[in-house]
Amino acid sequence: MGQSTPIRPLDGTSHLFLVGQSRHGFWVARDLEGRSEGIFREKKDALRFALFEGGHANAVMLSPSAVEPSYGMGVH
């Protein structure tokens, strides 16, 4: 397989977020650089957080797989 390169934000002030539901049913919005994360009961709240924190309309990627909170440990 080819090597993948990390997705970079559009500029220094924007961030890309991964949004998905955890195994426990909570919605997680996590900055791909591990700087910011939120855990929510509702999908709409996770999306709102990611869009606001991301800084642009294309800041959010919805995950088809479970997204577990990192609890401040960064993205692994």
Question: Considering the entire predicted model, what is its pTM?
Answer: 0.76
Query: Which is higher by pLDDT, 38 or 1?
Result: 38
Residues 71 and 76: their CA atoms lie apart, in Å, by 12
Given this model, what pLDDT does residue 2 score?
55
For 7-66, write each residue's pLDDT tens digit: 554 555 668 999 999 999 999 999 988 888 999 999 999 999 999 999 887 889 999 999
Residues 70 and 39: their CA atoms lie apart, in Å, by 10
Q: Give the pLDDT band of residue 74 (cuts 50, 70, 90).
A: low
Residues 14 and 11: their CA atoms lie apart, in Å, by 6
Residues 50 and 31: their CA atoms lie apart, in Å, by 8
Q: Give the pLDDT band of residue 6 (cuts 50, 70, 90).
A: low
